[in-house]
A and B are shown apart, each in its own frame.
Chain A
Amino acid sequence: MRSSDLSSSYFALFNMPVSFDIDRKILTERYRTLQRTVHPDRFANAAESERRLSVQMAARINEGFQTLKDPLARGRYLLELRGIELNDLDTAFDGAFLMEQMELRERLGAVKECDDPHQQLQKIARDIDVRIKEITAELAILFTENNDASFEKARDLTRKMQFFRKLEQEADALDDDLDVY
């Protein structure tokens, strides 16, 4: 397959096996090598057609790197390659997960009233991070099982990870607010 083919998979682009477990070091090395080859700075004096192509390729390599580097994006992408889409409107979750989300939300909501809001916020952020790491480890196992049932479970977990990621972003936004006021 042609590398400049914009429909080839990111795994093919980075010449890496299609897998959730990924060697970050090799990925980063290849990313740099690819950018060294296609980045627009390498084509500052080239013909217009080449410059345009270089911008497109560099953008694709950046997108691919972001996708493969991040466990959530990587999980989504692997599911997408299997034809499994995550529906953002789908909010059916098990009770334990919903309780946990509610509790974290309540803790976030109460941060501003705490004696040391920064410290409290850090604690919540750490708790969220622990959960994301746990899910990442579980996903690694599920994706190697490679059957319909495991993909269904992986889809469920990826959706959950998405919610934790949203909480993480809300915590960051709150941190900004604390600085302003």
Chain B
Amino acid sequence: MALLQISEPGQAAAPHQRKLAAGIDLGTTNSLVATVRSGKAETLPDVDGNHLLPSVVRYRKGEVPQVGTVARQSSIGDPRNTIVSVKRYLGRGLADICKQCTCKEYDFVDSEASVPRIRTLGGDVTPVEISAEILKVLKQRAENSLGGELTGVVVTVPAYFDDAQRQATKDSAQLAGLNVLRLLNEPTAAAVAYGLDRGSEGIHVVYDLGGGTFDISILHLNRGVFEVMATAGNTALGGDDIDHAIGEWMYEQAGMKQAVSDSQSRASLAEAWRAKEPLSDEEVVAISIPCPDGDCWEGELTRSQLYEIIDPLIIQTLSPCKRALRDAGVDVSEIEDVVMVGGSTRSPRVRELVGEFFQCDPMVDIDPDKVVAVGAAIQADILVGNKPDEEMLLLDVIPLSLGIETMGGLVEKIISRNTTIPSAKAQDFTTFKDGQTALAVHVLQGERELVSDCRSLARFELRGIPPMMAGAAQIRVTFQVDADGLLSVTAREQISGVESTVQVKPSFGLSDTEIATMLRDSMDHAQEDVAARTLREQQVEADRILESVEAAVETDGRLLEKNEQELIEAAVKMLHEVRGGDDPRRIKLAIEELNKASTDFAARRMDASIQMAMTGHKVDEFS
């Protein structure tokens, strides 16, 4: 049994018992890692003192991929092998990517596989693998800086990411060897970083314009509880589009239709990026771009010209703002403040237009590039168990409705957008032919009525339905969305009990086997032993469950039934024994055994804690 720990309420365990946790902002343009040290959340720099890691990966023949600044520097010279803004491709099919008009930038492999692959000198790589390279660098940075292995991380995602994009993000983290405690929505992370909950009760807006995505969230905050009321956005609109628009304008001015070569296009983006900043203070800035004949076109860009180019894009962000306000049932006058997140909100023009829309001065106190990582670090520190008395609670929502295909190519919504997660909903369906023994279930996400206008997440079949008259079978389809916003679907024929469950692996996602193969490949690369890693993973899981069950028995032993206690003790003993061995399968079995033995106990403990919370609450209300 665990030793009794004595510590002051509100105080974390002794420093040496602190677990190492980090928050990771996997951004379109830049990525960051942050952690809580001595009670303060801060982003971690690399050896050169840079906090921002450019989200750029360059693949070379027979060598380890380059990540970050070095890779970005080669982006103009080696554009086909240097992948920028990979976040735009996460969880997307090739058709979606081409719709964004960016598929010409790289050699996308035309294959049958649903997950697009980019051909590089280092081989064909998927967006999940490319993102994992970025995450590996951040993991290494955190572990070097903290001097130990990370217990868990919180990885942020745009609130408007759909199931496929979230799953892809989680897969990347898994591939990078990270234990994901939670996927956290970026705007919620920003609200946490600002400590908005510590103020009085109120409604706050987070406006997040990143490199490639736009998100708006409306939160209700009250004594430590962050309730997301509504979220909206556009996963294909960001600061990059502003740069593209400026780049195109420059080519028009230079008398060219568009950039002729890849390096020209990259050069013009770099120029657009450079030109924006001085226009905050100055009325005009000199610009130059390379021409096909090798010469340079020289010109100038005035502030009012800049506004003419970028205003339409900023205005595009305001219609999701309106929708979110309406979904939340909130009027602009009720908004306390607007938090600005994402590098693109540095633009004074963005601040001006957003401020006008929400009728208040936007909050910009925390560096908009770092604020998300900082919030994620605070949440990671709590989730890993370093602050047992922390009252903070984040209640997030799903951004897009989930449903299934019904007759006639229509979508029947099962969980509607802006429903608080976790969420579980069931809907009954029936067979439409006599003797029908199978039912195809097509899971979709989106707001539109037609299947073709929604995003296909997964397809599966419920087989083995006993033959019955049409309409006699009762098929209950249950959707469950967990706290990460990830969906699992169960279909069950109620009369026969035939059941089929899928952890929704999105149509544009990777299968477990594919991930396993990638893991193995990356291991070969790093000369690491796959078996050793699997063993280590099971040991970590074993330690976690042992610690958790032992602590539960210690505090709530009175809730145990006699024979149950014996079963649990036996399972604990068994797990302790095999944990020290080298067979991951035996550890896994022992973990399952202990899980099974402690299920009823867990339910009773949860009841007891609910009872206690509710009675304690009543005293509060009447005093």
Contact = CB atoms under 8 A, between A and B. Distances in A.
Interface string B71-99: 00000000000000000000000000000
Contacts of B605: 50
Interface in A55-73: 55-60, 62-63, 65-66
Given A4-B603, A35-B395, A45-B544, A59 B480 contact: yes
Interface string A113-151: 000000000000000000000000000000000000000
A63 B566 CA distance: 37
A41 B595 CA distance: 19
Contact of B384 (A4, A45, A47, A180): A45
A59 B423 contact: yes
Contact of A40 (B384, B483, B610): B483
A49 B423 contact: no
B496 interface: no
Contacts of A180: 319
B393 A36 contact: yes
A96 to B, nearest CB: 29
B599 A60 contact: no
B422 A58 contact: yes
Interface string A1-13: 0111000000000
Interface in A125-181: 172, 175-176, 179-180
Contacts of A49: 595-596, 598-599, 602
B575 to A, nearest CB: 11
B53 to A, nearest CB: 26
B419 A30 contact: no
Contacts of B610: 3-4, 34, 37-38, 57
Contacts of B607: 2-4
A21 to B, nearest CB: 17
Interface centre among A15, A55, A176 (most CB of B within 10 A): A55
Nearest to A56: B424
A45 B547 contact: yes
A57 B602 CA distance: 12
Given A3-B607, A36-B393, A179-B322, A45 B483 contact: no
A14 B544 CA distance: 32
Interface string B308-337: 000000000001001100100000000000
Contact of B594 (A30, A41, A47): A47
A40 B422 contact: yes
B545 A47 contact: yes
Interface stretch (B32-40, B208-216, B342-350, B611-619): B611-619
A90 interface: no
A44 B383 contact: yes
A39 interface: yes
B603 A53 contact: yes
Given A4-B606, A33-B613, A59-B480, A176 B323 contact: yes
A26 interface: yes
Given A46-B548, A47-B595, A37 B424 contact: no
Contacts of B594: 47
B399 to A, nearest CB: 15
B152 interface: yes
A66 B326 CA distance: 17
Given A32-B222, A62-B420, A47 B598 contact: yes
Contact of B419 (A2, A40, A48, A66): A66
Interface string B363-406: 00000000000000000001111000001011100000000000
A47 B549 CA distance: 7
B257 interface: no
Nearest to B181: A44
A164 B326 CA distance: 17
A29 interface: yes
Given A45-B384, A47-B548, A60-B424, A36 B599 contact: no
B494 interface: no
Nearest to B449: A173
Q: Is the interface of B mostly helix, strand, loop or mixed?
A: helix
B517 interface: no
Interface residues of B, number: 53
Contact of A63 (B425, B603, B614, B621): B425
Interface string B257-295: 000000000000000000000000000000000000000
A37 B609 contact: yes
A134 to B, nearest CB: 19
A62 B319 contact: no
Contact of A30 (B326, B423, B482, B617): B617
Given A59-B422, A179-B322, A35 B595 contact: no
B422 A29 contact: no
Contacts of A172: 326
A62 B326 contact: no
A65 B227 CA distance: 13
Contacts of A179: 319, 322-323
Given A15-B614, A36-B393, A36-B613, A41 B382 contact: yes
B492 interface: no
A26 B611 contact: no
Interface centre among A29, A30, A37, A56 (most CB of B within 10 A): A37
A3 B612 CA distance: 11
Interface string A63-98: 101100000000000000000000000000000000
A66 to B, nearest CB: 7
A133 B319 CA distance: 28
Contacts of B548: 45-47, 50
B613 A34 contact: yes
Given A26-B621, A47-B598, A41 B614 contact: no
Contacts of B621: 26, 29
Contacts of B222: 32
Nearest to B594: A47
12 contacts: A4-B607, A15-B614, A33-B613, A34-B613, A36-B393, A37-B609, A38-B606, A44-B152, A48-B545, A49-B602, A55-B480, A63-B424
- Which 7 residue pairs are nearest across A and B when measured between Cβ atoms? A59-B424, A44-B383, A40-B483, A3-B610, A59-B422, A179-B319, A47-B545
Given A38-B609, A53-B599, A176-B323, 14 more contacts: A3-B607, A4-B610, A29-B621, A30-B614, A32-B222, A33-B613, A36-B393, A41-B383, A50-B552, A55-B422, A56-B480, A58-B483, A66-B420, A179-B319
